[in-house]
Structure 1
């Protein structure tokens, strides 16, 4: 109990040391302690001098003993006096038992902080709308101008500026005689190609293996 004075008024403040543990864990105890009642009585008598109401919990599989006191001050005093002391040929180690409860003593599910990593998402975000595809633009003037072009002619789509080049469409010349007045007979005719027999494929001749000459070992 502690009294403090604030603005001329006395107020009583109850100070509780709730963060201090009131239990100890005994390690490196003899193995016979868990089976012999007489050895348990000698062990428990060491701690009953600090708190007559002390309780013990034996964990044979871990070779640990939990000693629970009535308050934290008794636990601290027992550890100060008995830590690293000899008990039946063993150096006993005493540590504070930590029991931490954050918020509720029940186990709560984790917070959904990383649900945005789910792919695909369970539902679209708020305010999301389906985007509409743009309507294709058809330049009928351009199609009309290109349809009127003949072989070898060109059409300027975009006039050159000081910063951009011009865009010009060139129409390919006809491969049957439209290449500057040449002889059209030099171009092969597809109809004649269908009537002529195709030449046979050349036969692949395999390389002959050289003759085997037995080697005479001396």
Structure 2
């Protein structure tokens, strides 16, 4: 697709009208159109009320230039009227072009990769062995400071949770026979609130 270019249309004027009567009253429209029909009897008008603009199409470029020269920044019903030449945008090719061949290999899976193209390998994950070693040496109830506190940041401390049996390591069969297991905590169900018929939903 080519880069768009903007060209000036010598046969069209765009009027910036702040007077709303031009868009609502036929009498105001007739007096507005009479200003431009004196330069070209075959002039055509298109009203865009939301944008407060009027597109004026002339059959002669000289008539459009003369109307712009004489009526630009003139008074119309107590409001200033400004005139500009309309611009036409040229984008280039009227149809959408396919992508260039050197970009087609990005389709997954690549239909026709270029010569020398290889699949990228995933990076190896970074493992902090010092941290793993320090955590493995911790016992129940111990803590390990990962980051020392500074005047602007807090410290980061890892606490090892207590095991239910009071031992973080898996006990042997002999230990299971000798040590009695503590009873599991009982889950207390939340009591339902009392129904009060006086409250209206």
TM-score norm. by structure 2 comes to 0.48
TM-score norm. by structure 1 comes to 0.45
Ranked by relative contact order (alpha carbons within 8 Å, sequence separation 6 or more), the top structure is: 2
